[in-house]
Amino acid sequence: MNTLLSSLSEGVIEDNEYVNAPVRPEDKAPPDRRLLFSSPSLPLLAVCWILLLLIMGLRIYFSSVISEQNVKLIKENQELMKEIQELSTEGKNTELKNVIQELKENFTKQITDLEDNWEKFNVSRAQWTIDSYCPADTMRRCSSCQRGWDQIQKSCYVFYNSEAPPDPKTWEEARENCRGRGADLFVVHDEEEKKVIDGYITKIPVLKGYWMGLRVEGRTWKWIDGTDLMNASWIEPPAEGHCAVSLGTRTWTSVKCDEKRTRICSQKALSV
């Protein structure tokens, strides 16, 4: 009996000691934490993090490399464009030089041809002048006026009338025709000269008269040598677009310059 009580008493004491014994820290860890550290997914998660960090690092590295390559390519491209531009400029300069050289050669040839033609013209004109003033059939006896021209005072005149086909022309055309013969439309400077010329015209009259070197410029009658008409009584008041025609009468006639008339050309007589 005493033995039984003693055994029960020892059992109670052991239970109390177990109940009152202090709890170790590891025994207080929460269940989920223990689960985490004891879970088999820990290595996989670590690998994912490592791969992610590796990818980010590679991305940063390659971005840096690509950026450097872009800068290098841009610089090389700029240098290449500069070289192309320089080559293009050199090519254009070469082409321009070739064009200039060709123009120079053509211009030189034209000058040479012009000089040759001018020399031939001078020779031809000189021969024509000799034949005109010193005909061969007169044993080269020279006169002050060309053959077929009449000398009046110090000038030579040719009258285009019925004997020589009149070939009517406008005032401008008539003047151009006279210039082609080394002359011009006739000019009268004084009363005496006018009387002499009028006398010739009455001997070889034409129906519509002869053009003369007088026309209206700036509402004033002007001679082709630039002088003004001194005697206003010789012709009616000026009208724009009008030129003078001589009929061999006391007064001259004012008509439109674009009408067609025959002409009288004059030039200075030579001293022989």
pLDDT tens per residue across span 115-162: 777 665 554 555 456 666 666 666 667 778 888 888 888 889 988 875
Q: Average model confidence (pLDDT) for the chain?
A: 76
Taking only the tens place, the pLDDT of each residue in 237-259 is 999 999 999 988 778 999 999 99
Residue 28 — very low, low, confident or very high, per pLDDT cuts 50/70/90? very low
Task: List pLDDT tens digits, range 91-110.
Answer: 777 877 887 888 788 878 88
Per-residue pLDDT tens digits for 171-182:
999 999 999 888
Q: Measured between alpha carbons, how far is residue 241 from residues 154, 188, 220, 257 in Å?
A: 31, 21, 11, 6
Contact 139, 151 (CB under 8 A): no
